[in-house]
Amino acid sequence: MDILKLGTVVSLKKGSQKIMIVSRFPLYNENGKKGYFDYSACFYPTGLVGPAVYFFNHEDIDEIYFEGYEDSSELDFQKKMQEEMKNNVHIKLQVEK
């Protein structure tokens, strides 16, 4: 899986609103079960307004409208995360269907 960059704007299969990625591999506590999602995002174009952050996985994405900024730091981060995910101890959570 390619890791999408911060600032990437997408829509989800189960949604009508565009959202912008603000975090990658965030941990989430689901009723005492700690795991992670691929991404968290906020509404686009309004941004973070209040505590509303939406969690989802790569397979939940319907369309990519814009890809975020990439430089050498981003490439280094992606490489590091791909290595760390091989030894990940947390379970991958799923969006409720």
Q: Is the pLDDT of residue 3 over 70?
A: yes
Strand partners, 62: none
Residue 4 lies in a domain: no
Q: Which range of residues forms the domain containing residue 34?
A: 9-92
Residue 46 lies in a domain: yes
Report the alpha-carbon distance of residue 15 to residue 32 in Å, rounded.
27
Residue 97 lies in a domain: no
Domains held by the chain: number: 1
**pTM assigned to the model:** 0.90
Strand partners, 42: 20
Residue 2 lies in a domain: no
Q: Report which secondary-structure segment, H or E, holds 86.
A: helix 72-86
CA atoms within 13 A on the CB side of 56: 21
pLDDT digits (tens, 9 = 90+) for 18-67: 999 999 999 999 888 899 999 999 999 999 988 889 999 999 999 999 99
